[in-house]
Amino acid sequence: MTPAGEEEKETGRLEAFSDGVFAIAMTLLVLDLKVPKSGEVDSGGLLAALFGQWPMLIAYLASFATILVMWVNHHRMLRHIRHTNDTFLYLNGLLLLLVTFVPFPTALVAAHLRDSHARTAAAIYAGTYEALALVLNLMWSYAAKGHRLLGSQVNAAQVHAITRQYRTGPTLYLIAFGLAFLSPEASFGFCLLLAVDWAFTGSLTRLFGEPRLQM
Amino acid sequence: MTPAGEEEKETGRLEAFSDGVFAIAMTLLVLDLKVPKSGEVDSGGLLAALFGQWPMLIAYLASFATILVMWVNHHRMLRHIRHTNDTFLYLNGLLLLLVTFVPFPTALVAAHLRDSHARTAAAIYAGTYEALALVLNLMWSYAAKGHRLLGSQVNAAQVHAITRQYRTGPTLYLIAFGLAFLSPEASFGFCLLLAVDWAFTGSLTRLFGEPRLQM
Amino acid sequence: MTPAGEEEKETGRLEAFSDGVFAIAMTLLVLDLKVPKSGEVDSGGLLAALFGQWPMLIAYLASFATILVMWVNHHRMLRHIRHTNDTFLYLNGLLLLLVTFVPFPTALVAAHLRDSHARTAAAIYAGTYEALALVLNLMWSYAAKGHRLLGSQVNAAQVHAITRQYRTGPTLYLIAFGLAFLSPEASFGFCLLLAVDWAFTGSLTRLFGEPRLQM
Amino acid sequence: MTPAGEEEKETGRLEAFSDGVFAIAMTLLVLDLKVPKSGEVDSGGLLAALFGQWPMLIAYLASFATILVMWVNHHRMLRHIRHTNDTFLYLNGLLLLLVTFVPFPTALVAAHLRDSHARTAAAIYAGTYEALALVLNLMWSYAAKGHRLLGSQVNAAQVHAITRQYRTGPTLYLIAFGLAFLSPEASFGFCLLLAVDWAFTGSLTRLFGEPRLQM
């Protein structure tokens, strides 16, 4: 009953709203960087006090880059999607819930990476990204199955390329999740590496034979 | 005096601005999740300390899902509306005021669900959603009365379907409000159930013979 | 050198960016509402503890309504403007600076309305709105002078109507500013009255013979 | 394979998303302005207590104006760009990372401008802007090299004018960075002067023979 034109506009709104959530979640991360007060700075000076916050600085960088990559993936997916329905909206809502949640595990891993709770914190951090990657895959599988929500101009080769590319995320974050129990630092470092690599260079994922993300 | 094209654009701006408020309110909810410090974690470990925050985690989930449902409803309504006037803007402003307010009752119910103030907190939580549902109904009644602000393509059956669907919200949240005085936990749980059901499955509202929300 | 079409698009971006700032400033206001902890609630109960926060609740309402009115005015103005230049951007930047500043005097007046600093706090609160109203008037005077930045379809009667309407703001907030030194509560109450009246009913400004705001 | 129209739309999304990040970062700055509590205000009164916060107030103004200038530059650049690719997205992501980071050095310089850590704080503050200016230059050089990502309507004179104009930023912030080690106050004041001048008057940069920024 709705002409194609109106449905495209619906997708536009879904994207604009999702973009807002992505942008705000990325910007809120800075609120966890704490300015050391004069009394808290010892003889090493301010620079040393700031470097003492390195887990938070690195977690900020890793989370920023990861949300950026998720945003690029989200847009890439929605460029191929013309129709929406309830189930797709449900999955998108779940993705946004996880995106807004990211600042919490970020602060958690930064606070506990150097104490006895490092394993739990690193596992929750990697687990959040595993969940994000899984929901992104679910959204794409659902939309692409039988060409359900795709535009008519999307061909099978494009669908296959995206499907293959998306598949690496859950596998790699599962490794990061497992690593958390062996070495929290290694797990956290692996998450950072994945985010920076995906966002910026793409060389690691090319080892898996995947093409670079194109927005 | 204004051609239809320009009025449509006005509605577009109203929506974009409202979308911003909805997206930010949803994302700010995460700021109330507190990272337990090392000294605050007892022998049960970090995971136990986090589960001890369950009221906040559940309130976060419930409020996120409720704002998401309100956003879907808001968009659904505005798809049928072509014109705006002062009264409609007044009602939309009132809706946005309540949307930005949601993080406060969310933190309130999370902080007091397990102490002697649970009834008051749960009643304020359910009462906020009752107010949101009432304002949404008011907006629709006002816009639809005598086809006041609707586009000419909207027919009576569509108006009736939305009217019936919107009517369940105030009734159900009134039940949640009343429940707060008998059992705060039940009231809070009912709000969560409503949000998750509306956002994700729609099975409960179908008991009332209502169709699922379509964006 | 630039065709009219491209300049309209520039105005669109300016508005979208400004909308974002307005929406975020409105939503951040809720962060100053504090949830009373269990130990802070005395025998009067949670509801009494919340009502004890009335200056913050009312300041929240007043500031929300005022930013909403400023947003409506901003949009109304930009509907008539087709061109931008450096000076107009400078004035818009100044307006946005004041909009993002609003949460600060809001928290200030809420914290000090009942202590010996009430006069200073109320004067800063009213003074911020005076500055906002003045910058809005400056933007319009600059744009309308000699039809400088207006679209060709805007006629002299429309310009005159907006000019007259905008003129009431600085006058009324100057009264609120002066009132702060006589009675901080009266000044604060007057600001609230103005915001609610402008946002919602328009009856007070009609006493001055002004038409209602139309978005 | 992608028609020009679709690529323009991609740039539009990139801009809308970037706009969101700029707007949020600018608005979050206000969260660092602290309301002095009654007990913290001495006999000098509230106004004196607020003026005692002058480093934060000035840092707020300087950072707001600087992000505004960066936003104007970002838009100006993207008006000339029609195509995007991975490297350009990488650079834009880096720019947004630095934009979201600005509230941190802002709070840092405000907290330490009057203690023994002033040099470090002022150097980090100026250094952040140096990095922002460098990334903006990198984006433009990359896009403009061999007309790589530019629209076909952009001519060599326009490219040259922007290139010359952008070049002043890194030079001036390098001076501010160096000044931090001689006089932190002078460095901070120079950053403020640059931001206010670029945002509002453009007279200083005209000394260098550069035309004013045009949005």
The answer to ipTM > 0.85 is no
pLDDT of the residue at D201:
60
A30/D100 Cβ within 8 A: yes
DSSP codes, A110-144: HHHTTSTTHHHHHHHHHHHHHHHHHHHHHHHHHHH
Q: Which residues of chain A have a CB within 8 Å of the CB of B62?
A: none
- Residue % of chain A over a pLDDT of 70: 87
What is the model's pLDDT at position A6? 40
The pLDDT of residue C4 is 40
Region B90-103: mean pLDDT is 92
| pLDDT tier, A32 (very low <50, low <70, confident <90, very high otherwise) | confident
**Least CA distance to D93: which residue of chain A?**
A68
Say whether pLDDT at A211 is over 60.
no
Distance between CA atoms of D211 and D163, rounded to whole angstroms?
12
Is the CB of residue B45 less than 8 Å away from at least one CB of chain A?
Answer: yes
What was the pLDDT predicted at C36?
87
For residue D6, what pLDDT is reported? 41
Number of alpha carbons in the 13 Å side-chain half-sphere of residue C88: 23
In this structure, of A178-192, B9-23, D66-80, the range with the lowest mean pLDDT score is B9-23
Would you list the domain boundaries of chain D?
4-207
Kindly give the confidence (pLDDT) of every residue in chain C, 215 residues in length, as a single tens digit, with 9 standing for 90 and above: 334 444 444 677 788 889 889 999 999 999 888 888 877 788 788 898 888 888 889 999 999 999 988 888 888 888 888 888 878 887 898 999 999 999 999 999 999 988 899 999 999 999 999 999 999 999 999 999 988 888 888 888 888 888 888 888 899 999 999 999 999 999 999 999 988 877 666 555 555 444 444 43
* CB atoms B215 and A117 under 8 Å: no
pLDDT of D209? 45
Query: Backbone phi, then psi, for D84, in 5-degree steps?
Result: -130, 160
Q: Burial of A175 by CB count in 10 Å (0-12 exposed, 13-18 middle, 19+ buried)?
A: middle
- Whether A164 has a pLDDT exceeding 60, the answer reads yes
Q: Is A186 on the interface with D (CB under 8 A)?
A: no
**pLDDT value at residue A12:** 75
D33-90 pLDDT per residue, tens: 888 887 778 878 889 888 888 888 999 999 999 998 888 888 888 888 888 887 888 7
Please check whether residue D170 is in contact with residue D140, taking contact to mean a CB–CB distance below 8 angstroms: no
- Does A209 or B90 have the greater pLDDT score? B90
Size of interface A-D (CB pairs under 8 A): 78
For residue B153, what is the nearest residue in chain A, using CA coordinates? A2
Task: State mean pLDDT over A95-103.
Answer: 94
Answer yes or no: do C117 and D46 touch at CB < 8 A. Answer: yes
Q: What is the mean pLDDT of chain B?
A: 84
Q: Which chains neighbour B (Cβ–Cβ under 8 Å, 3 or more pairs)?
A: A, C
Rounded to a whole number of angstroms, the distance between the first and last alpha carbons of chain C is 31
- The C-alpha atoms of residue C62 and residue C73 are separated, in whole angstroms, by 16
Task: Kindly tell me if the per-residue pLDDT of B5 is higher than 80.
Answer: no
Report the alpha-carbon distance of residue A15 to residue A20 in Å, rounded. 9
* pLDDT digit string, tens, across residues C182-203: 999 999 999 999 888 776 665 5
CA distance A190 to A172: 9
pLDDT for B9 equals 45
Closest CA to A50 of D133, D125, D132, D179: D125
Give the pLDDT band (50/70/90) at residue B129.
very high
The predicted pLDDT at position D128 comes to: 96
The whole-model pTM stands at 0.87
Q: What is the pLDDT of residue D16?
A: 83
Residue with tokens 């491209």: C6
A17 in contact with B at a CB cutoff of 8 Å?
yes
Q: Are the C-beta atoms of B120 and C46 separated by less than 8 Å?
A: yes
Report d(CA C180, CA B102) in Å as an integer: 32
Q: Report which of D32, D63, D22, D95 is spatially closest to residue A24, judged by C-alpha positions.
A: D22
Please check whether residue A144 is in contact with residue A82, taking contact to mean a CB–CB distance below 8 angstroms: no
Q: Give me the residue from C19, C37, C45 closest to B20, CB to CB.
A: C19
**Residue among C17, C19, C68, C205 with most chain B CBs within 10 A, to mutate:** C68
Q: What is the pLDDT of residue C214?
A: 40
Residue B10: pLDDT band (50, 70, 90) is low
Residue with tokens 């749980």: B189
In this prediction, residue C202 carries a pLDDT of 55
E strand map for A6-145: none
Question: Residue C53 corresponds to which tokens in the numbers above?
Answer: 């926060």
In chain B, the residue whose alpha carbon lies closest to the alpha carbon of C57 is B101
The percentage of residues in chain A with a pLDDT greater than 90, rounded to a whole number, is 38
pLDDT at position C10: 60
Residue C2 has a pLDDT of 37
Nearest to C106 by CA among C47, C27, C162: C27
Give the pLDDT band (50/70/90) at residue A10: low
The verdict on a CB contact (< 8 Å) between A112 and B38 is yes
Asked if residue A30 has pLDDT above 80, the reply is yes
The answer to whether B46 contacts A96, with C-beta atoms less than 8 Å apart, is no
Q: How much is the pLDDT for B215?
A: 36
pLDDT tens-digit map of A127-136: 999 999 999 9
Q: Cα–chain-centroid distance for residue A167?
A: 14
Nearest Cβ partner for C93 among D20, D31, D68: D68
Q: Residue ranges of the alpha helices (H) in C117-183?
A: 118-144, 156-182
More confident residue, D208 or A102: A102
Could you say which of C23, C28, C202 has the minimum Cβ distance to residue B17?
A: C23
**Closest residue in D to C93 (Cα–Cα):** D68
Is B111 in contact with C38 (Cβ distance < 8 A)? Answer: yes
Contact B25 C23 (CB under 8 A): no
Residue C43 sits at the chain B interface (C-beta within 8 Å):
no
Long-range contacts of C189-198 (CB under 8 A, 24+ apart): C190/C126, C191/C62, C191/C66, C191/C125, C191/C126, C191/C129, C192/C58, C192/C61, C192/C62, C192/C65, C194/C66, C195/C61, C195/C62, C195/C63, C195/C65, C195/C66, C195/C68, C195/C69, C196/C61, C196/C62, C196/C65, C198/C65, C198/C69
In this predicted model, which residue has the larger pLDDT, B96 or B8? B96
Size of interface B-C (CB pairs under 8 A): 78
* In the predicted structure, residue A210 carries a pLDDT above the cut 70: no
* pLDDT band at residue A201 under the 50/70/90 scheme: low
- The listed range with the strongest mean pLDDT (A8-12, B64-68, B119-123, C13-17) is B119-123
Residue ranges, chain D, pLDDT below 70: 1-10, 199-215
